[in-house]
Chains A and B, each alone.
Chain A
Amino acid sequence: RKEVEQDPGPFNVPEGATVAFNCTYSNSASQSFFWYRQDCRKEPKLLMSVYSSGNEDGRFTAQLNRASQYISLLIRDSKLSDSATYLCVVDPSSNTGKLIFGQGTTLQVKP
C-alpha cells in the first residue's frame, strides 16, 4: 500500500465549478500535511498547509481528518489558471524534511 494515495484523475471541470480532491495516508503518526501544486513541465511549489481546523486561502480550502487519515483540497470558482497537478504531501515526523509525496491529481479546467 502506498504511504500517500491520490486519485490521479484527470478531473475535467468547467470554469466556475467547485472541485474537491482527496488524499489518504497510511501512517497514523504523521505530523504535518501540505498541498503542493505542479504546473505542466514545471517544478512543484507549496500551495498551502493543512490543519485539523481547516485552512482557507481565497478560493482554496484544505482540510485534515486525522481519524480517517485523509486530507482534502477544495477549489471554488475554478479558473483556467488552476489547471495543474496537485500533490498531497505528508511529513511523517516533525520537520525532518523527509516529505512523502503522493503521485498527484491532475485538474484540467475548461472554458
Chain B
Amino acid sequence: DVKVTQSSRYLVKRTGEKVFLECVQDMDHENMFWYRQDPGLGLRLIYFSYDVKMKEKGDIPEGYSVSREKKERFSLILESASTNQTSMYLCASSLPDSSYEQYFGPGTRLTVT
C-alpha cells in the first residue's frame, strides 16, 4: 500500500511566520506534488517535482517555495505566511509513467491568523 504522510494534520501560525510543511512517501515515486484545496475552487497545483533537486511551478506558486533534497521527501515552504494562505494543503506522489494516478496524503489544515 502506498503511504504518503504529512507532518501535521492541523497547524496554526501567525502572519509573517515562516512555515514548513513536510511530506514523505514510501513508494519510491519520482513525482511529488503540492496542492491547496479551497471551497469552491477545488485542488490547485502549487509546485511539483519530477526528481530530487528538481522543481516546477504549478498554477499558483506565488508566496511558496519547495525543497526536494531526498526522493521520498518534498517540503513546502511559506516564506512569510499571510491570511490568504489559510487552506487545506495536500501532498501527492506518483510514478512517472502513470502520473494521473496520484496518491495523496491526509492533508494539513493550515490557519494563518
- Measured CB to CB, the residues of A under 8 A from B are 4, 8, 32, 34, 42-46, 49, 87, 89, 91, 95-99, 101-104
Contact digits for B81-107, partner A, Cβ 8 Å, 1 yes 0 no: 000000000100010111111101111
B11 to chain A, nearest CB (A): 16
Q: Is the CB of A95 within 8 A of B106?
A: no
Bound: A31/B97 CA distance, A: 15
- Quick one: given A103-B40, A103-B41, A103-B42, are A95 and B100 in contact (CB under 8 Å)? yes
Check A95/B45 contact, CB under 8 A, given A43-B90, A43-B104, A45-B104. Answer: no
Which of B33, B42, B44, B100 is the one whose CB lies under 8 Å from A91? Answer: B100
Closest to A96 in B: B99
A49 x B104 contact (CB < 8 A): no
Contacts A44-B43, A87-B42, A103-B41; A95 near B99 (Cβ below 8 A): yes
Q: Hey, which chain B residues are within 8 Å of A104, CB to CB?
A: 42
Report yes or no: A98 in contact with B42, Cβ–Cβ below 8 A: no
Q: In the complex, how many residue pairs between chain A and chain B have their CB atoms under 8 Å apart?
A: 55
Rounded to whole angstroms, the CA-CA distance of A8 and B42 in the bound complex is: 10
Query: B23-41: contact bitstring with A at CB < 8 Å (1 yes, 0 no)?
Result: 0000000010101000011
The minimal Cβ–Cβ distance linking B101 to chain A, given in whole angstroms, is 5
Cβ B100 vs Cβ A98 within 8 A: no
Among B45, B58, B107, which residue has its beta carbon within 8 angstroms of that of A43? B107
Does B48 interact with chain A (Cβ within 8 Å)?
yes
A101 close to B100 (CB less than 8 A): no
Contacts of A42 in B (CB 8 A): 106
- CB of B104 within 8 A of CB of A44, answer yes
Nearest-neighbour CB distance to chain A for B108, whole angstroms, equals: 11
- Quick check: A97 and B99 within 8 Å, CB to CB? yes
A2 to B35, CA, bound (A): 17
Choose one: B4, B43, B90, B102; the contact of A97 (CB below 8 Å).
B102
A85 to B91, CA, bound (A): 18
A97 touches B33 (CB 8 A): yes
> When A and B form their complex, which 4 residue pairs have the shortest distance between CB atoms, in order from nearest?
A97-B99, A43-B104, A103-B42, A101-B43
